[in-house]
Amino acid sequence: MKKLFNKKSIPLLLQEAQANEHGLKKTLGMWSLIALGIGAIIGAGLFVNTGRAAAEAAGSGVTLSFAVAAIGCAFAGLCYAEFASTIPIAGSAYTYSYATLGEIVAWIIGWSLVMEYALGAATVSIAWSEYLNNLLGGAIPYEWCHSPFEHKVVGKSTINGIMNLPALSILAILTLLLIKGTQESAIINGIMVFIKVAIVLIFIVVGWSYIKPENHTPYLIPESTIGHEGIFKWGWGGVLGGAAIVFFAFIGFDAVSTAAQEAKNPKRDMPIGILGSLIVCTILYILFAHVLTGIAHWSEFSKGGAGGEASVSYVIKKMVGFEWLGTSVNIAILAGFSSVILVMLMGQTRVFYSMSNDGLLPKLFSVLHPKFKTPYKSNLILLLMVGGFAAFIPGSVAGNLTSFGTLFAFVIVCAGIIMMRKNFPQLERPFKTPLVPLVPILGILVCLAMIVALDLTTLSVAAVWMLVGLLIYFGYSKHHSKLRNDAEK
């Protein structure tokens, strides 16, 4: 039993980080890391989940929901920043938990990150396909942009989906880009970040003059509102419920830490990349939500076609003379989706890379391309996994699992900082998380609160997912663990 909690020594991890001549290329600077974070963060969550969270739980207080989610992310981000600067090696939360909490915890985190990165990339690629078809006016035949499990009725006939070709195509293109190199991927990501941030800023600036103060009154949903029964559906409880919904909009800033081994100066640049991208996105999110719920009352987002994905388009129609923004927002959403997919695919392969180097996954996941120095086999295997899901499974299957996987990782990283401070007090820390253990404990509590606010179905599916992961660990990883095998020699 004790061996399940074997820890990988931090001095050994630091040696691995330094012995990088034949490993991942160091190509990312400070601005590339900030852009990587913004690229992962600003995506569908902002455009889709803001109206949904306002209508279902928070009302105009969705701005406060973003603040609550950001606080939870900030606590976790401070902990990530210390880890990433102290142990600059690929693997993110998986690597950190291996060093502080033990192998079994590291495996559980690595497995939960699949929900965040791989499942998230598949889900976002399906949404990318839907928005592309909308932008093209439905030019893509239904059969080739939907899974075999989906159908629609036209007159007396039924059209069945065959495969989601656009979703598979964007995954293939971005996978090839990642194989070509991290620096090239960062350049393309930077262009997409510029496009979507510019359009978000235009929406905020133009929409500000259309805000009606009465739409923000009352700011929170009253207790007696019909359809809002339940502790997380009104008032301050609704703010927390809204935070659990909009938290999806923050997913991705932790992906910056997966690129630590490819940063030119990780001790300085990793904290700036993680916290800088988080600060920029939080400010944009709160301003965006304030404008959205100021132009239209939150209750309008739950009526007919105005709610959910159409909320932003619905609001833009109220901005007379700026209808062109609707097309621009669709372009921003496509750019946002693309950069999120790119960073999620990159993050997942880096986690697989570290797990493979530790023997918990087969060796082929850590094989690097002889010229590009990228884990190309892992990229291709991930394309088969994620592409298969995106092409043949409906996007609704994923639900809030991505949020669960991320929140769970945040909890473990916060706990890991407390353990690392206790067990390695003399370790050189280029960046130090302030007010330890208060900040990590607050991060744990806020993230656990958002996990509890998730729906029961999501929590049940996540439990099954974790059980499958444990079966794989005890069936394969436990017997191939390099740390365990070295200890037994």
The pLDDT profile of the chain, 489 residues, written as one tens digit per residue, is: 666 778 887 777 767 666 554 456 667 777 788 887 887 777 767 777 788 888 888 889 999 999 988 888 888 888 988 888 887 776 678 888 888 888 988 898 888 888 878 888 888 888 888 878 878 888 999 899 888 888 888 778 888 889 999 999 999 999 998 898 766 777 777 787 888 888 889 889 989 999 999 999 889 888 877 777 778 788 888 898 888 888 777 877 777 776 666 777 777 887 888 888 888 899 999 999 999 999 988 888 875 444 445 677 778 878 877 777 877 777 877 887 888 888 889 888 888 988 998 899 999 998 988 888 888 999 999 999 999 988 987 765 565 677 788 888 889 889 989 988 988 888 888 888 999 999 999 999 988 988 887 778 888 888 898 999 999 999 999 999 988 777 665
Q: Which residues of 128-167 are buried (b: 16+ CB within 10 A; e: fewer)?
A: bbbbbbeeeeeebebeebbbeebeeeeeeeeeebbbbbbb
Q: Return the residue matching tokens 């609550």.
A: 68
| Token code pair at residue 69 | 């989610």
Q: Which residues of 194-226 are buried (b: 16+ CB within 10 A; e: fewer)?
A: ebbbebbeebeeebeebeeeebbeeebbeeeee
The model's pTM: 0.76
Contact 149, 134 (CB under 8 A): no
Report helix, strand or coil for 341.
helix
Neighbouring-strand partners of residue 157: 154
Number of Cβ within 10 Å of residue 305's Cβ equals 10
| Token code pair at residue 448 | 């656990």
For residues 312 and 358, give the distance between their C-alpha atoms in angstroms, rounded to a whole number. 45
Contact 37, 255 (CB under 8 A): yes
Domains and CATH numbers, the chain: 28-481 (1.20.1740.10)
Contact 30, 273 (CB under 8 A): yes
| Token code pair at residue 479 | 């017997």
Neighbouring-strand partners of residue 145: 164
Separation in Å, CA 212 to CA 58, 207, 216, 312: 18, 11, 8, 16
